[in-house]
Amino acid sequence: MIKVLCRLNRWHFDEMRKGDIVADLNIERGDFNRNTDVIPVSDPHIFSETQRMAQMQAVLSRADAHPDLYDAKAVEERFLKQLKIPNINELLKDVPAPEQRTLADENAAMAIGHTAYAYMQQDHIAHIQGHLMFGMDPSFGSNPFIAPQFLPNAVEHIKQHMTLWYLNRMNGYVENLRGGKPVDDYENPALTATIDKLYATVGQHVALDSEQVFSQIMPQLQQLQQTMQQNKPQPVLPPDAQVVKDTATAETQRKAAKDQQDLQIAQAKIQDSQQRGQAEMQATAQQAQASGQLQLQIAQINNQAKLQIEQARMQHEINNPALMPPQGV
């Protein structure tokens, strides 16, 4: 469409009248000698700045949820570019290139939050022992001021040394079995299966070696892991999320307190009911006991009355012999 308008202006510009919008612009017929067109430079599927920002927010959320899958600096650079922040390279710190260092330099670097890298030719067991000693020292690696930065870097770095120790051991055994020849011909189809069998065989020997070498190191690694968990910094929530969390926590505590109060009231009612039941049982027993004693007393009185009547009758007969029944001869 732009090309068509450009061609019409080139042919009929002198006969055309300028509109009010371009009346003050210095436009000539020769300006349309070239065929030009408008070429979009943005994604046609994304039609607004709001949608682009929504997509960027989704990327930030995914990067936070899966930090091992994303390049944090690249995500931040794209976010700042989306905000049209100028000179973003002045804001972001440079990531130092991998550098081979002594274990002391590595400890110092990891203590201030830098990453350390292991290399094949290093003495991996010596490095692991040095990092463990630094990490378990309460003045350095276990110090609450240093541990949050040092320990996560140290754990990852020790994993590198352990992995490289394994590779050196496996490759060393295989090279010895091949007469000192390095494994640089694995892609040869005629040798691939044979090399695989060699690695499977030497793996048993490496397993025995690792059990002997790491038997004393593993408890220290576990202790280092526990110390790292204890010093793990708590995530800081955004203000609105913190308000929601505090509100939910307060509501949970309120419900728990109410449930506890209701439970205490129910227990008090049950205890009161039990006490009243026991009191009623005791009163009933006392009434029954009192009733039995009264009946016993009445029976005793009746017996005494009968005895007195019988004694009076007999005394009367004794006093009046004529009333006595005749006795046999």
Q: What confidence tens digit (pLDDT) does each residue in 66-77 have?
A: 888 998 888 988
- Residue 239 maps to a domain: no
Please give the distance of CA 101 from its chain centroid, rounded to a whole number. Answer: 34
Q: What is the DSSP string of 115-160?
A: -----TTS-HHHHHHHHHHHHH-TTTTTSTTTHHHHHHHHHHHHHH
Are residues 201 and 107 both part of a single domain? yes
The tally of domains found in the chain comes to 4
CA distance 26 to 32: 13
| Residue 150 pLDDT greater than 80, yes or no | yes
CA distance 109 to 157: 12
- Residue 248 maps to a domain: no
Q: What is the pLDDT of residue 107?
A: 95
Look up residue 179 and give its DSSP letter.
T
- Residue 98 maps to a domain: no
Are residues 226 and 121 both part of a single domain? yes
Are residues 55 and 144 both part of a single domain? no
CA distances from 65 to 58, 62, 71, 201 (A): 11, 5, 13, 41
Are residues 146 and 83 both part of a single domain? no
| Higher-pLDDT residue of 137, 296 | 137
The confidence band for 329, taking pLDDT boundaries of 50, 70 and 90, is very low
Are residues 25 and 144 both part of a single domain? no
Are residues 69 and 140 both part of a single domain? no
As a dihedral over the C-alpha atoms of residue 98, residue 99, residue 102, residue 103, rounded to 10 degrees, the angle is: -10
Are residues 107 and 219 both part of a single domain? yes
What integer best gives the mean pLDDT of the chain? 82
**Highest mean pLDDT pick, 8-12, 107-111, 240-244:** 107-111
CA distance 261 to 116: 56
The confidence band for 235, taking pLDDT boundaries of 50, 70 and 90, is low
Asked which of 230, 247, 274 is the last residue of a domain, the reply is 230
**Highest mean pLDDT pick, 258-262, 273-277, 279-283, 315-319:** 258-262
Are residues 181 and 131 both part of a single domain? yes
Q: 108 is written with which tokens?
A: 């110092």
- Residue 44 maps to a domain: no
Give the closest residue to 199 by CA, choosing from 226, 171, 158, 179: 171
> Considering the chain, what percentage of its residues have pLDDT values greater than 90?
29
Dihedral sign, Cα of residue 190, residue 191, residue 196, residue 197: positive
- Residue 253 maps to a domain: no
The confidence band for 190, taking pLDDT boundaries of 50, 70 and 90, is very high
- Residue 43 maps to a domain: no
- Residue 133 maps to a domain: yes
- Residue 204 maps to a domain: yes
Tell me which residue range forms the domain holding 162: 103-230
CA distance 20 to 29: 18
Span 33-70, pLDDT tens digits:
766 555 655 555 555 677 788 888 899 899 888 888 99
| Residue 236 pLDDT greater than 50, yes or no | yes
Asked which of 176, 210, 230 is the last residue of a domain, the reply is 230
| Residue 242 pLDDT greater than 70, yes or no | yes
Mean pLDDT of 129-148: 91
Q: What is the pLDDT of residue 298?
A: 81
Percent helix, strand and coil across the chain, each to the nearest 5: 70, 0, 30
Please give the distance of CA 13 from its chain centroid, rounded to a whole number. Answer: 71
Helix (H, G, I), strand (E, B) or coil at 66: coil
Are residues 145 and 174 both part of a single domain? yes
Are residues 145 and 56 both part of a single domain? no
Are residues 148 and 58 both part of a single domain? no
Q: What is the pLDDT of residue 302?
A: 81
Span 165-182, pLDDT tens digits:
999 999 999 999 988 888
Q: What is the pLDDT of residue 204?
A: 92
178 by Cβ neighbours in 10 Å (0-12 / 13-18 / 19+) ranks as middle
Are residues 85 and 108 both part of a single domain? no
